């Protein structure tokens, strides 16, 4: 039976680019892959046919010979094994399409031993502090529950005096090969769960895991200027790794409580203070509370509600930098709800004076209108 034309198999023209050939093969590989068509002999044959066509046309030298001499020019290569020249690209495509990782890679072909060591998990600790603590910095005492290396077995998982043995199922590689159709697939060894080791006499303290649950108390320095969302990384204070793997890290995430008086925006603080009508009209000096002390602020005569005064350097320290933010104080003129007899009398007198002032002002406006 004569072979079909390789370009026809892939559905491309003879002038197709390398990328067009690769894309065409990808589509056919997905469509006819044996895993997606179990027991379908026709699909498996088409998959093999597409793989053979791609192995020739993806290799520039073999494609040239095929274009000149047809199948006769590549007959010795067409039946090549998976490791033959021209199949490197095919192996890469299969790995990308079906998640076989390094099934076809050099590591899997040589059967190199996989490392059983795994890094420990990172941990997160949410710490709530006050605005004052965030501004001044502090030392927090944390209690961290975590998995630590078992001291009894020195984190091996095996009972003292014994050692883990090499897994006989996978020969310590951590993977087992299965023949699937015309190529092999490597899967995680179920006997050792991919570690390459078997523990026949597990440690009675950690039950063969090499780690035990403990709570560690530690002091952590919180720098001045942190805010909600700030993250402090403490290296190697997460969970212990397994089989000699490195420990994870601890991340302390800061949450600053809302303050009754101050609102924070970056390194600046904002607050408001009440003043009386007399203070606003006549001017005054008032005491303003800052985050850690008190300051005297001069209120000019005629100050209106909403006027903002800036107290330089009275905000929060700049995290990791120099200096402080500022404190912005907005004044609110308070209208009294209850009056004494004397207060009412004085206000009535003021109202009468203001009424005359308005009348006089109205008369002057009329004069200006007449005389332009």
Quote the CA–CA distance of 309 and 302 in Å, as a whole number: 14
For 351, the 3-state DSSP assignment is: helix
Give DSSP secondary structure letters for 112-146: PPPP--BPPPPEEEEEEE-HHHHHH-EEEEEEEEE
Structure token digits, residue 148: 């630590």
Contact, 344 vs 351, CB < 8 A?
A: no
Q: Is the pTM of this model over 0.85?
A: no
Contact, 118 vs 169, CB < 8 A?
A: no
Domains of the chain: 6-99 (1.10.287.110), 123-256 (2.10.230.10), 263-334 (2.60.260.20)
pLDDT tens for the chain, residues 1 to 372: 567 899 999 999 988 998 899 989 989 988 888 777 888 888 888 888 888 899 889 888 888 888 877 877 776 544 433 333 333 444 445 544 544 444 333 333 334 455 567 899 999 999 999 999 999 999 999 999 999 999 999 999 999 999 999 999 988 888 888 765 556 677 888 888 888 889 999 999 999 999 999 999 999 999 999 999 999 999 999 999 988 889 999 999 999 999 999 999 999 999 999 999 899 999 999 999 999 999 999 999 999 999 999 999 999 999 987 899 999 999 999 988 888 999 889 888 888 887 776 555 554 454 455 444
Instruction: Give me the torsion for CA of 341, 345, 351, 354, rounded to 10°.
Output: -140
Which residues lie closer than 8 Å to 357 by C-beta, 6 or more apart? none
Quote the CA–CA distance of 181 and 35 in Å, as a whole number: 9
């Amino acid at each position: 039976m004569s072979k079909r034309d390789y370009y026809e198999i892939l559905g491309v023209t003879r002038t197709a680019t390398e990328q067009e050939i690769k894309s065409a093969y990808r589509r056919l590989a997905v469509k006819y892959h044996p895993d997606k068509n179990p027991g379908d002999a026709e699909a498996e044959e088409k998959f093999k046919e597409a793989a053979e066509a791609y192995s020739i046309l993806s290799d520039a030298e073999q494609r040239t010979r095929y274009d000149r001499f047809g199948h006769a020019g590549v007959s010795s290569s067409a039946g090549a094994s998976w490791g033959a020249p021209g199949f490197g690209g095919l192996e890469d495509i299969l790995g990308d399409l079906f998640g076989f990782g390094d099934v076809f890679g050099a590591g899997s072909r040589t059967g190199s031993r996989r490392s059983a060591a795994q890094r420990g998990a990172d941990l997160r600790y949410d710490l709530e502090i006050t605005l004052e603590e965030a501004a001044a910095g502090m030392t927090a005492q944390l209690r961290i529950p975590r998995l630590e290396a078992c001291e009894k077995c020195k984190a091996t998982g095996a009972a003292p005096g014994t050692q883990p043995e090499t897994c006989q199922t996978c020969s310590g590689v951590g993977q087992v090969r299965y023949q699937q159709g015309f190529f092999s697939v490597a899967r995680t060894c179920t006997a050792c769960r991919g570690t390459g080791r078997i523990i026949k006499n597990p440690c009675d303290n950690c039950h063969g895991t090499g780690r035990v649950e403990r709570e560690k108390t530690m002091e952590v320095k919180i720098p001045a200027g942190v805010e909600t969302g700030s993250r402090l990384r403490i290296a190697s204070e997460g969970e212990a790794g397994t089989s000699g793997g490195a420990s994870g890290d601890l991340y302390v995430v800061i949450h600053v409580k809302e303050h009754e008086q101050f609102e924070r925006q970056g390194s600046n603080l904002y607050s408001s203070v009440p003043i009386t009508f007399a203070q606003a009209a006549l001017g005054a000096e008032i005491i303003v509370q800052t985050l850690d002390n008190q300051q005297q602020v001069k209120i000019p005569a005629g100050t209106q509600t909403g006027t903002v005064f800036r107290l330089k350097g009275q905000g929060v320290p700049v995290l990791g930098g120099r200096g402080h933010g500022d404190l912005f104080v907005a004044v609110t003129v308070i209208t009294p709800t209850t009056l004494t007899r004397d207060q009412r009398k004085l206000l009535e007198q003021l109202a009468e004076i203001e009424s005359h002032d308005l009348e006089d002002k109205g008369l002057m406006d009329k004069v200006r209108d007449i005389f332009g």
